[in-house]
């Protein structure tokens, strides 16, 4: 049993504001005292909260597209941030911070997970959740954003946050808790070393996204002759669109089994005819098996994939959490394509598509997926093989996305179903040389992504070692 005998003042300036024993654990307290005694300062000395910009209701027009960053959008391994594109009107109520280059974001929720990210030019102007504390350094602060980012990812900083946890079922900290952290003085030579290594890792993160953009440009070029069917939300017709539909097309063998007029817009059939004229093609169900995600029955812990773990740049495995189910279930497999098949608005249906790659071993052994995800699995023995990355990229492109959205059933938002997508989404098929080049872009992106993650982890481990050598010993808290 760990025992700490402390003064009443240790609980803070507000008398009896908190009395939880974890707040005054001797190990973290000794570490903070060591940092401050050797010239360190509280974080609030280094940052200026007044410099952080927040949004208001008139910040943008309702239909302006915004990049939004939530806590689940940050990979806790190395802090890489993935944003979602949302209309301003659809931003969640917790949308708060307008990000600028150099901001450091720290998750207030479950600080034991160590979710910290540094805003690069790629994220400048994005909107971040109030679930973060946004830190912008003061003018003249004896700290750089890269060093602050690296330090806040160390066990030394995380343990201080855990000490300040408020609540047990849903542990979280407040902004003032984050600003109260003790930050050590870092020697100039170590600062320069960490700066260099963090900068190199962030350049690799940018290179990762650049590779994805190159792959996107490649598929844009391939699909240019095909064009795209109309969005279900738009029409360029100046007159009423009238389509005569036969009974057989509705209820006959192979019929759509639906009577909604939007599905039968003549432009979709015209698009399909155009695709078939230009070259090889296949219906999605010819090469893939489609089924809806499902939860298993049980009360054990199972890794559960949700739409929040999809980024359009690869699954964020650190956003996959444990929920109740049958631990023997392994629904999702390497190579599956996961598609967001349900949303509250038509616009968002199908806008997240990722291929399952580099699945962590523990998740591969036991996993499930919510029903709002559709699983698109390659059929065994199909020749020639069509790379899953190409199909996922096609489904993200308007050529595929609008075919998916055409299949929506429901009035507000709605659902897409496996049988509809299997039958009514057709995919133009590139030649094998083109597919080889496209796969290479994807493989290079994965390699660069892995290298960036390893670089950040190595830098943080080096900084932790130096802090330990300086006498600032972390208390050995177990993190999950």
What digits encode the pLDDT tens for the residues 105-119?
999 999 999 999 999
Task: Indicate if 29 and 173 belong to the same structural domain.
Answer: yes
Alpha-carbon distance 83 to 86, whole Å?
9
Domain edge (last residue) among 170, 185, 200? 185
Shared domain for 108 and 246, answered yes or no, is: no
Enclosing domain of residue 158: 8-185
Q: Which pLDDT value is given to residue 346?
A: 87
- 269 and 357 housed in the same domain: yes
pLDDT-above-70 percentage for the chain: 92
Specify the higher pLDDT residue, 128 or 446. 128
Residue 473 lies in a domain: no
Question: Could you tell me if 95 and 14 lie in one domain?
Answer: yes
Mean pLDDT of all residues belonging to the chain: 90
Q: Roughly what angle, to the nearest 10 degrees, separates helices 155-163 and 432-469?
A: 70
Residue 442 pLDDT: 87
Closest C-alpha to 463, from 92, 133, 183, 76: 183
The verdict on residue 315 lying in a domain is yes
Say whether both 228 and 159 belong to one domain. Answer: no
The residue with greater pLDDT, 408 or 471, is 408
Same domain, 154 and 77: yes
Q: Are residues 336 and 220 in the same domain?
A: yes
> Which of helix, strand or coil describes residue 450?
helix
| CATH number for the domain that contains residue 294 | 3.90.220.20
Give the chain's end-to-end CA distance (angstroms, integer).
22
With a cut of 60, say whether residue 14 has pLDDT above it.
Answer: no
Residue 379 lies in a domain: yes
The residue from 418, 435, 452 where one domain ends is: 435
**pLDDT given at position 252:** 73
pLDDT at 396: 97
Same-domain pairing of 349 and 402:
yes
User: Does residue 394 form part of some domain?
Assistant: yes
Whether pLDDT at 1 is above 60: no
CA distance 314 to 271: 29
Output the pLDDT for position 11. Answer: 59
Domain count for the chain, please give it: 2
pLDDT at 7: 63
Q: pTM to 2 decimals?
A: 0.89
Q: How confident is the model at residue 383 (pLDDT cuts 50, 70, 90)?
A: confident
Residues 136 and 266 in one domain: no
pLDDT for res 478: 38
CA angle 98, 100, 104 (to 5 degrees): 95
Q: Is residue 71 part of a domain?
A: yes
136 and 244 share a domain?
A: no
Backbone angles phi, psi at 453, to 5 degrees: -65, -40
Say yes or no to pLDDT of 138 above 90: yes
Instruction: Render pLDDT for 74-106 as a digit per residue (tens, 0 to 9).
Output: 999 999 999 999 999 999 999 999 999 999 999
On whether residue 452 sits in a domain, the answer given is no
Q: Does position 399 have pLDDT exceeding 50, yes or no? A: yes
Q: Which residues partner with 95 through β-bridges?
A: 129
211 three-state secondary structure? helix
User: 391 lies in a domain?
Assistant: yes
Residues of the chain with pLDDT > 90: what percent? 74
The answer to whether residue 196 is domain-embedded is: no
Give per-residue pLDDT as tens, 465-480: 999 888 777 754 433 4
- pLDDT tens, position by position, 176-227: 999 999 999 999 999 999 999 999 999 999 999 999 999 999 999 999 999 9
DSSP state of 17: S
Q: Which pair of tokens denotes residue 192?
A: 């320069």
Give residue-wise pLDDT tens across range 413-467: 689 999 999 999 999 999 999 999 999 888 999 999 999 999 999 999 999 999 9
pLDDT, tens digit (0-9, with 9 covering 90-100), for 22-69 = 777 777 888 899 999 999 999 999 999 989 999 998 999 999 999 999
Same domain as 114, residue 67: yes
Could you tell me whether strands 353-355 and 342-343 are parallel, antiparallel, or unpaired per DSSP bridges? unpaired
83-97 b/e (C-beta count within 10 Å ≥ 16 → b): bbebbbebbeeebbb
- Same structural domain for residues 222 and 105? no
């Amino acid at each position: 049993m760990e025992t700490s005998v402390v003064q009443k003042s240790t609980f803070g300036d507000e008398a009896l504001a908190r009395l939880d024993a974890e707040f005054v654990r001797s190990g973290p307290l000794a570490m903070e005292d060591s940092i401050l005694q050797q010239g360190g300062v509280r974080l609030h000395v280094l940052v200026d909260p007044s410099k952080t910009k927040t949004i208001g209701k008139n910040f943008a027009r309702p239909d302006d597209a915004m990049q939004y960053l939530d806590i689940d959008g940050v990979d806790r391994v190395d802090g890489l941030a993935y944003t979602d594109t949302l209309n301003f009107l659809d931003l969640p109520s917790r949308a708060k911070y307008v990000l600028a280059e150099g901001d450091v974001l720290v998750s207030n929720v479950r600080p034991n997970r160590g979710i910290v990210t540094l805003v690069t030019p790629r994220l400048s102007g994005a909107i971040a959740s109030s679930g973060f504390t946004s830190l912008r350094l003061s003018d003249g602060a004896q700290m750089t954003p890269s060093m602050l980012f690296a330090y806040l990812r160390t066990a030394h900083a995380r343990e201080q946050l855990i000490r300040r946890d408020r609540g047990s079922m849903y542990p979280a900290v407040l902004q003032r808790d984050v600003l109260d952290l003790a930050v050590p003085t870092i020697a100039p030579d170590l600062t320069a070393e960490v700066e260099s290594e963090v900068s190199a890792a962030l350049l690799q993160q940018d290179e990762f996204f650049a590779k994805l953009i190159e792959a996107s440009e490649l598929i844009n070029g391939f699909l240019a002759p095909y064009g795209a069917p109309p969005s279900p939300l738009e029409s360029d017709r100046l007159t009423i669109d009238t389509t005569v539909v036969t009974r057989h097309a509705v209820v006959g063998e192979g019929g759509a089994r639906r009577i909604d007029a939007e599905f039968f817009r003549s432009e979709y059939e015209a698009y399909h005819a155009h695709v078939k004229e230009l070259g090889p093609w296949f219906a999605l169900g010819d090469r893939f098996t489609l089924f809806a995600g499902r939860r298993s029955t049980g009360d054990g812990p199972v890794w559960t994939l949700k739409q929040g773990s999809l980024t359009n740049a690869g699954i964020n495995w650190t956003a996959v959490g444990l929920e109740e189910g049958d631990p023997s279930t392994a629904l999702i497999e390497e190579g599956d394509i996961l598609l967001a098949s349900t949303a509250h608005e038509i616009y968002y249906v199908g806008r997240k598509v990722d291929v399952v790659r580099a699945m962590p071993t523990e998740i591969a052994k036991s996993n499930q997926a919510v029903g709002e995800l559709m699983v698109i699995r390659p059929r065994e023995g199909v020749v020639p093989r069509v790379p899953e990355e190409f199909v996922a990229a096609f489904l993200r492109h308007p050529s595929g996305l609008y075919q998916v959205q055409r299949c929506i059933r429901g009035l507000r938002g709605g659902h897409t179903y496996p049988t509809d997508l299997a039958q009514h989404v057709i995919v133009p098929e590139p030649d094998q040389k083109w597919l080889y080049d496209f796969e290479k872009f994807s493989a290079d992106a994965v390699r660069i992504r892995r290298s960036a993650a390893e670089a950040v982890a190595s830098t943080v481990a080096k900084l932790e070692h130096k802090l330990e050598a300086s006498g600032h010993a972390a208390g050995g808290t177990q993190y999950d």
